[in-house]
Amino acid sequence: QLFYVIFNVSLKERIEAVSGSCVTIPCSFTVLDDLKNNLNSGCRALWKKETQNKVFTGQTEDVTQKNCTTTLYNINKKQHHGTFFFRLECDNDLKWNFKNASVKIQVTGDVTEGESVSVQCSAPVPCLSLPPTLTWSPVLGDVQETQQQQQNNAFVKVSTLNFTASHSHHEKNITCSAVYSRRDVTSELRLRAQGKTLVKYRPRNLSVTVNPPGAVPEHSNVTLKCSSEAHPPAQLYHWYNSDGLKDTLIGNSSVLNIKASKDTTAVFCEAQNDVGPERSTVTQLDILCTTLHISCFIFIRHISFTLVFAVAPKILNSSNCTGDWSQMSCLCEAEGNPSPLIQWYFPGVSATNISITSEAQSDTSVRSIITVKDAQSKDPVTLLCHSSNSLGSDTQTFTFSTLDKAPEQQGQ
């Protein structure tokens, strides 16, 4: 059956919507009086996008009263940004694409942290003496209320919530409730509308993860991972080595693989999205040096401190012996971290003729003195100083003859 009639729809040319929220499209239409009987509960308001065949539906007012006002939920830019046409589709012969007017939905991106945001909630006022009570949950800022008269002379109550966008508001549900009281009746009618805020904010809560954790030997493999909270997620990452005077770029990804080095002991990462960059705090790497570096003085972000490395023991050149065969004293000094232990070995020499004293010089050094009187042994007399800790050991050998006036020393 063909209808040779003119169908008209009344729409706004443009409506703004916020991604993640909802949007209401004011809409009314006309049909020929002869077709009014076709408008029944089986009629639906559909919305067709200009560039797609996909049909969108939402919460619609009473189409039997030619009111096609529709609320679309969960707005996102990919699906809802563009021009839409209204289609009336009933479960009878009344089906029509209204082409005389269209509405362009302009979906704005997420609000950025620090921007001012206004969210409106409105509810009809069927009785001026008993207007609805509008409440927000949560109350994120100041609330302003007005009562407005529309073009059809109907009244609505409008509540506006104003707040400054923060990262803490991201993906937070905001609910507006309308409560209608009934005169002389204890019951009430409650209506609710809900939307979700999407807030863009720069990376925050940056953290650096070191694998393996704890102290690592020099020249071994170390993996650094930079993590952050951000919306949208961080797209760019940079790693820097910090010596207190300047920051040197050493990597450009969220995960950085390096060789452990005493030249790279203080690092931090920088994460960036389209809102801006943010840096982590400095992370100190604990490097076990393979050579003797008891301590070094470095600067980290203009704050100086002493960094102590774990090293194997080393007997110092100051170790020596004095005296002759009648009485000889040998000094053995060693450094290491942890502090080393010194042990003496005296093969063939009677312990009754020997005395040993030891004392710590610092947290990383120790000294020990052995005294031998009237050595009764075969020539030559040999004394061994052995220094050790959990990372290794070092040995110094001292020898002398009963005919010599001064002993000889030999390192191993």
CATH topology of domain 312-411: Immunoglobulin-like (2.60.40)
- pLDDT at res. 200: 87
Spatial separation of the C-alpha atoms in residues 7 and 4, rounded to whole Å: 10
Determine which of 174-183, 275-284, 346-355 has the lowest per-residue pLDDT on average.
346-355
Decide: residue 241, CB within 10 A, 0-12 exposed, 13-18 middle, 19+ buried: buried
Q: Choose between 86 and 262: higher pLDDT.
A: 86
Distances (CA, A) of 190 to 21, 176, 193: 21, 11, 10
For the chain, where do the domains classified as CATH 2.60.40.10 start and end?
Answer: 8-108, 111-197, 207-308, 312-411
Architecture of domain 8-108: Sandwich (2.60)
pLDDT band at 407 (very low <50, low <70, confident <90, very high): low
State the residue for tokens 């040197």: 248
Residue 121 predicted with pLDDT over 70: yes
Q: Tokens in use for 370? A: 């052995």
Spatial separation of the C-alpha atoms in residues 245 and 233, rounded to whole Å: 31
Residue 197 predicted with pLDDT over 60: yes
Does residue 217 have a cis bond before it (omega within 30 degrees)?
A: no
Reported as half-sphere exposure (CB side, CA atoms, 13 A), residue 89 has a value of: 12
The CATH class given to the 207-308 domain equals mainly beta
- Report percent pLDDT > 70 for the chain: 85
- The H or E element containing residue 259 is strand 255-259
- pLDDT at res. 292: 44
pLDDT band at 405 (very low <50, low <70, confident <90, very high): very low
Residue 369 predicted with pLDDT over 90: yes
Spatial separation of the C-alpha atoms in residues 91 and 93, rounded to whole Å: 7
Spatial separation of the C-alpha atoms in residues 76 and 17, rounded to whole Å: 9
Reduce the DSSP state of residue 117 to 3 states and report it: strand
Q: Tokens in use for 129? A: 């003496």
Determine which of 42-56, 303-317, 364-378 has the lowest per-residue pLDDT on average.
303-317
Beta-carbon contacts of 352 under 8 Å, excluding residues fewer than 6 positions away, are: none
Residue 146 predicted with pLDDT over 60: yes
Residue 60 bridge partners (DSSP): 70
Beta-carbon contacts of 61 under 8 Å, excluding residues fewer than 6 positions away, are: 67, 68, 69, 70
Determine which of 12-16, 178-182, 250-254 has the lowest per-residue pLDDT on average.
178-182
Q: Give tens-digit pLDDT for 163-184.
A: 888 888 887 888 888 888 876 5
Angle (CA) 89-93-98 rounded to 5° is 45
Q: Choose between 117 and 233: higher pLDDT.
A: 233
Question: How many helices (H) and strands (E) are present in the chain, helices listed first?
Answer: 1, 38
Residue 268 predicted with pLDDT over 60: yes
Classify residue 5 by its DSSP letter.
S
pLDDT band at 32 (very low <50, low <70, confident <90, very high): confident
Residue 185 predicted with pLDDT over 80: no
pLDDT band at 100 (very low <50, low <70, confident <90, very high): confident
What CATH number matches the domain at 111-197, 2.60.40.10, 2.60.120.260, 2.60.40.60, 3.40.50.1780? 2.60.40.10
Q: Give tens-digit pLDDT for 320-336.
A: 988 876 788 899 999 99
